[in-house]
């Protein structure tokens, strides 16, 4: 997953709240926000899955956008 795919996935799933999700929600898996994780070099796919966990998105949302091989 590229950064652009990550941002598209967040936009599609959270709409107007997308910026808030990336900038303000602290991801338990990392102890920092998604924006900070991106800046630290954490792979966007890992951040997307952490957001899914943190916001309790259903499994169908996890692999909808940007992840080429969901089972790998």
User: Is the distance from CB of 34 to CB of 21 less than 8 angstroms?
Assistant: yes
Which residues, including other chains, have CB under 8 Å from residue 21's CB and lie 6 or more apart? 10, 14, 34, 51, 55
Give the model's pLDDT for residue 66: 54
Give the model's pLDDT for residue 46: 95
Give the model's pLDDT for residue 43: 96
Answer with the residue of higher pLDDT: 68 or 29.
Answer: 29
Convert the pLDDT of each residue in 10-27 to its tens digit. Answer: 998 998 999 999 999 999
Closest CA to 49 of 35, 62, 32: 62
> Domain segments of the chain: what residues?
3-62
Looking only at Cα atoms, what is the longest distance across the chain?
31
To the question of pTM greater than 0.95 for the whole model, the response is no
Convert the pLDDT of each residue in 46-68 to its tens digit. Answer: 999 999 999 998 888 777 665 45
């Amino acid at each position: 997953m590229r950064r652009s795919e990550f941002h598209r996935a967040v936009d599609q799933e959270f709409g107007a709240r997308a910026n808030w999700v990336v900038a303000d929600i602290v991801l338990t898996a990392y102890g920092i926000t998604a924006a900070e994780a991106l800046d630290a070099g954490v792979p966007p796919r890992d951040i997307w899955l952490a957001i899914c966990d943190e916001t309790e998105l259903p499994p169908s949302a996890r692999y909808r956008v940007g992840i080429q091989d969901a089972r790998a």
